[in-house]
Amino acid sequence: MEKDNNKLVKFIEDDNKQTTKVTKEADDAMKERKAIEVKIKTREQKINGIMSDIDKNIDQLSALEDHKKFLFSIFRRENAMWVEKVE
């Protein structure tokens, strides 16, 4: 009976150690996963910010090109003799 009791106590202790070890490993894996998720979200936010800046720059470039065309059309109309000499 004493031997069985000692075996049972030893088994329970070993099981508790194993459970503690596995739980710690699972917690560590969860922390690592959360850290990776935070990195991904941060990078996605940066990408979205950059894409927004690109879109703004494209819109601004388009507006500036339209303005350039407008200014050249005024220049050609108002300064026909200069345009003839250049062309």
Each residue of 19-32: pLDDT tens digit? Answer: 999 999 999 999 99
Q: Quote the domain boundaries for residue 28.
A: 2-86
Residue 87's pLDDT band (cuts 50, 70, 90):
low
> What does the block give as tokens for 11?
């088994």
Give the DSSP letter string of 13-39.
Answer: HHHHHHHHHHHHHHHHHHHHHHHHHHH
Question: Is the pTM above the cut of 0.85?
Answer: no
Q: Which residues contact 83 (CB under 8 A, 6 or more apart)?
A: 75, 76
